[in-house]
Structure 1
Amino acid sequence: MGYRIALNFEDGATRFIDCNAGEKVLDAAFRQKINLPMDCSDGVCGTCKCRCEQGSYELGDEYIEEALTEDEAEEGMVLTCQMQVSSDCVIAVPVPSSACKVKPAIHGGEVASVEMVSDSTIILTLRVDDPAALGFLPGQYVNLMVPDTGQHRSYSFSSKPGAAEASFLIRNIPGGLMSSWLSEKAQPGARMSFVGPQGSFFLRNVDRPTILLAGGTGLAPILSMLEVLADQGTEQPLHLIYGVTKDGDMVEMERIDALAARLPTLTSAVCVADPESGHPLKGYVTEHLSDDHLNAGDCDIYLCGPPPMVEAVRTFLRDKGVEPKHFHYEKFAPSESSVKAAA
């Protein structure tokens, strides 16, 4: 029996490896040409220390206290030279991928469809060449090449891992490089390539009430997360607040309703910032984030949106004196550079 291990490096690159039952993670990585940090490989030096963010494993007792203390082990730190997994896992590796001789993973696909779903949003769907080889964690992004330009833009998957088609919500920027190609040149069957996955903004275990906040096309990674949760099921309360600027910016509403039908614990709200909107909920996401949702801080929050929105939520939580158990966020600049930053 084998397991899938996601290695998430310090620079945000993620690579997946297969690990056999009873095989040490360090050995499995080396077998697949990923040189994780190591020196002794005997549980003595501590050089291979990483953090397991998700999954089940055993470390045995063949390592010394100086290499991994009891407190560190309780906090999820592991020695990959001793670690044997008993489930799929996500491991944070505290060095850049380049230090482990990991080459960028390049994937390709054909344009299946380009939908102008609103004045501000384009949905791009690609038929992936090899869905099994395209591993990513729900919430992550890739650098998508703009054909015939040598340039790329960064977009989060709105589809779930393993799907035959990968989808992206793309901000329609007038004169933008990707926007112009999609609206003027893209045709079904056109080839596109992308590099990744990337990013530390991804779904962790859902162990407590969880709030999902999305602004504009920041809805994409949240949809990917919800697709996975709908497949897995959860008993924890989930609450989505999706904020847009204008009424016409709302997209994927039928998909949200379909996800809610599959996730009985999911509630959702959509708010529009435009004060002239006819939508029932107006204002910003913070105006619709209640004390009940925050659960006195015993909650996890996932937030993806433009920088002003991210900072507004952080300020809102600070002013209320609420510190969530976990707060994961990703900011994006809807500009030509498509800069992303996660925490």
Structure 2
Amino acid sequence: MSYTIALNFEDGVSRFIGCNAGETVLDAAYRQKINLPMDCSDGVCGTCKGRCEQGDFEMGDDYLEEALSEEEEAEGQVLTCQMVPSSDCVIQVPVASSLCKTAVGAMDATLARVEPLSEDSLELVLELDDEGGLAFLPGQYVNIQVPGSDQTRSYSFSSLPGSREASFLIRNLPEGLMSGYLRQRAAAGDRLTLTGPLGSFYLRQVTRPVLMLAGGTGLAPFLAMLEQLAEKGSDQPIHLIYGVNCDDHLVKLAALDDFVERVPEFSYTTVVVDEQSRNTRKGYVTHHMPSEVLHDGDVDVYLCGPPPMVDAVLGHFREQDITPANFYYEKFTPNVTEAAA
């Protein structure tokens, strides 16, 4: 039996390794040429200390209190030289990936299709060369090289981790380098290179109610999260508020309706800024955040959207004296060509 261990380094790089039953994380990493910090490998020095965010494991008792205190262990900290997983795990490694003689991964893919979703967004679907797909944490992103250039653009996955097909929601910018390629030159069979996965915005273990806040193509990472929740199950209330500028920018509603059927306790609402909208809820996401979805603060909030939306939500929480149990957010800024910048 083997378990998948996600190693998240402090520079945003994630690497995934296989860990055999009875094997320590440190040994598994070294076997796969990732040199996690260590001095002794005997539970004495504490150099290999990290934090396990999710997963089951055994630590045994062959380490010193000076290397890992009871308080640190209660906070989820581990010694990778002693940690023996009994499930898939996610570990925060408090050093840069380069110091562990590893770097961001790369994978090639073939363009399968480009689907216009609205005047504002496109869906890009790639077929990965590796039949096993790409391991990532739902919510993370990759950098995709734009064919015909040496530049890359960053996009969050909207597909399930490990799938052979990887999908992304792309904002359709008139002067955007990637969106220009997708509108004008892209053809099935084109070759693209992905580097990643990257990012600290990803779904943690669901132990309490979840509130998801999406703005525009910031919906993408939540589609990946919901795919995983549909596969693994959840008994916690999960609510998504999805905000856009006008009615035509609402996309993937059929997919969201499908998640209502597939994910227990999942619900969603949409909000449209345009005052002429046909939508029931007009204005901004902060105008339509009822108290019941905040669960008196006992809620994990995930937010992905453009900087003004992120700043507005942060300001709203401060003004309303709302302090969620956990608050994870990611701002995205559209890239345009230099001529348009």
- TM-score, normalised on structure 1? 0.97
- Following TM superposition, by how much is the alpha carbon of 1:271 offset from its aligned partner in structure 2, in angstroms? 0.5
**Counterpart of 1:24?**
24
Cα shift at 1:103: 2.8
Query: Once the two structures are superposed, what CA deviation does each residue of 1:65-95 show, in whole Å capped at 9, x if it has no partner?
Result: 1111100000000000110011000000011
Q: Secondary structure at the match of 1:62?
A: coil
For 1:175, the aligned partner's letter is: E
Q: Partners in 1 of 2:320 and 2:175 — Cα distance?
A: 41
**SS of residue matched to 1:117:** strand
Aligned length in residues:
337
The equivalent of 1:243 in structure 2 is 243
In structure 2, distance between residues paired with 1:29 and 1:127 = 28
- Distance, in Å, in 1 between the alignment partners of 2:131 and 2:174 is 32
CA distance in 2, matches of 1:180, 1:247: 23
Distance 1:41 1:283 in 2: 56
Match of 2:282 in 1: 282
The CA distance in 2 between the partners of 1:211 and 1:125, in whole Å, is 27
Q: Quick check: 318-327 or 165-174, which moved more?
A: 318-327
Which residue of the partner structure matches residue 12 of structure 1?
12
Q: Give TM-score, length-normalised by structure 2.
A: 0.97
Q: Which residue of structure 2 aligns with residue 212 of structure 1? A: 212
Cα displacement (A) at 1:131:
4.2
Structure 1, unmatched stretches of 5+, are 338-343
Tell which deviates more after alignment, 21-30 or 104-113. Answer: 104-113
**Residue number in structure 2 paired with 1:225:** 225
Cα distance in 1 between the residues matched to 2:230 and 2:108: 27
Between the aligned partners of 1:315 and 1:67, the Cα distance in structure 2 is: 41
1:171 paired to 2:171? yes
Q: CA deviation at 1:275?
A: 1.4
Could you tell me how far apart the structure 2 residues matched to 1:14 and 1:34 are? 12
* Displacement of 1:116: 1.3
Q: Does 1:273 align with 2:268?
A: no
* Secondary structure of residue in 2 paired with 1:51: strand
Deviation digits for residues 223-275 of structure 1, max 9, x if unmatched?
Answer: 10001001111110010100001111111011110111111301110010111
Q: Provide Cα deviations, 1:4-50, integer angstroms capped at 9, x if missing partner.
A: 00001101111100001111110000000000011111111111000
Three-state SS of the structure 2 residue aligned to 1:160 is coil
| Counterpart-to-counterpart distance in 2, 1:5 and 1:127 | 24
What is the 5 A alignment of 1:98-247? 98-132=98-132, 134-247=134-247
Q: For residues 92 and 327 of structure 2, what CA distance do their matches in structure 1 show?
A: 17
Query: Identical aligned pairs, as a percentage?
Result: 58
Query: Which portions of structure 1, spanning 4 or more consecutive aligned residues, are displaced by more than 2 angstroms?
Result: none
1:38-117 aligned within 5 A: 38-117=38-117
Q: Is the 8 A contact 2:133 2:163 kept in 1?
A: no
Q: Secondary structure at the match of 1:154?
A: strand
Q: Check if 1:311 corresponds to 2:299.
A: no
